Amino acid sequence: MDFADSPEEARFRERLRAWLAENNPHLPASSTSDEYWEKQPAWHRSLYQAGFFGLSWSARYGGHDRPTVYDVIVDEELAAAHAPPRPNLGYLVQALLAHADDDIKERFLPDLISGQARWCQGFSEPDAGSDLASLRTRAVRDGDQFIVSGHKVWTSYSDVADWCLLLARTDPDTRGHQGLSAFAIPMDQAGITQRPLKMISGVAREFGEVTFDAAVVPVANMIGTPGDGWAVAMTILAHEREPQELGNASRYRKTVAQLRKLMRDHPDSYDAEQFRELAWAIVESDMLQHLVRRRLSERLDGLAHGADGSIDKLLMTRVEQTVGHAAVDIAKGTHDELGASMLATYLYSRAQSVMGGTAQIQKNIVAHRVLGLPKS
């Protein structure tokens, strides 16, 4: 496989590098600071206005109709410049592209892609996290609108969201994944209350807890048809569980590079076990990068991924936790900003085996839907 840039790709890369030299906001890692979440919307708009966001999406909705490889170039250069990664919105865009009608796409996709409107994802509930099919939030039809009541938790970016892609039960007589529907519900209304959730790393702006008390959403804002909610959710999760092109892989490699520099500067301060941990972090982060490049090549050949996303999620979990463990062990005697950042990196990595569907759920999906093993 040839990873070299074409002449056009090389020109794009050089233009991006020059732009980053002047516009890099140098935000801290998302897992370590609220500053990242506070300034991410402005970073999104800045990338978009410069022509470096939404590259592979349709120009009809504000994208650039470029091959996916241009997104990879952006991810690589952002990581190399120690700039913040691209905002992770692809799973929402893919859900609307796959399931929404033309009216929904034209009303919502341009502002979503450009960063003029912020979105959150209303899936998990206090008693329906990994068991998403057991959710209890209800949407009851009343004329040309639905009345929504329920409780969502671990709702990403809910404090800044203008819209929520909400999964709710529209048929109370059904069980499990049947009778679920998806909506684009406006967050700025009296029936919705948002409360931030502070994580052990100290970050309080990434996730929120949201309650819906007779909130209102127009019938015209349903994504797909009644009962399509499960299909919408599976599209979202299939894309959410992939390593986001090279974004996450580059982030892990950036952490590894910081650890390598720390050990090179003070080689006598570390023992053989710490060198072994760093070696494994290097190997596993490189392995993930090659997997993501393989996935990219497959998509460029027109191959779509479904349940395979669970394999990617399991590998990404392992790599993030390997890197996180090396970070806290190697930097544990470093009482400065880097040491604090590495501790936060470790703490955040522990959640990777739960967020986006637990590792146990992913293994079940791989067993049943990839390997074809019987359920028992």
Q: In the 8-state DSSP scheme, what is residue 268?
A: G
Give the model confidence (pLDDT) of 282-317 as tens digits. 999 988 888 877 877 777 676 666 677 788 888 889
Catalytic residue among 76, 77, 125, 240: 240
Look up the domain containing 202 and give its range: 119-227
- Do 217 and 251 lie in one domain? The reply is no
Is the pLDDT confidence value at 325 over 90? yes
pLDDT band at residue 212 under the 50/70/90 scheme: very high
Share of the chain above pLDDT 90, in %: 49
- Do 82 and 130 lie in one domain? The reply is no
Answer yes or no: is 232 within a domain: no
* pTM of the complete model: 0.84
Closest CA to 185 of 143, 213, 153: 213
Cα separation of 318 and 182, whole Å?
Answer: 31
Domain boundary among 170, 193, 227: 227
Is the pLDDT confidence value at 335 over 90? no
What number of other Cβ atoms are within 10 A of residue 82's Cβ?
A: 14
Long-range contacts of 106-114 (CB under 8 A, 24+ apart): 106/61, 108/163, 108/184, 109/57, 109/61, 109/62, 110/61, 110/62, 113/48, 113/53, 113/54, 113/57, 113/61, 113/62, 113/63, 113/89, 114/45, 114/48, 114/54, 114/62
Count: domains in the chain? 3
Cα separation of 267 and 261, whole Å?
Answer: 10
Is the pLDDT confidence value at 162 over 60? yes
User: What's the token pair of residue 373?
Assistant: 């093993």
Closest CA to 353 of 308, 322, 307: 322
- Do 251 and 357 lie in one domain? The reply is yes
Is the pLDDT confidence value at 98 over 80? yes
240 assigned to active site: yes
Give the model confidence (pLDDT) of 228-283 as tens digits. 999 999 888 777 655 555 556 777 888 898 899 989 998 898 999 999 999 999 99
Give the model confidence (pLDDT) of 23-68 as tens digits. 999 988 777 788 888 899 999 999 999 999 999 899 999 999 998 8
User: What's the token pair of residue 269?
Assistant: 């301060």
**Site of tokens 């329906």:** 128
CATH number for the domain spanning 320: value is: 1.20.140.10
pLDDT number for residue 210: 97
When comparing pLDDT for 214 and 347, which is higher? Answer: 214
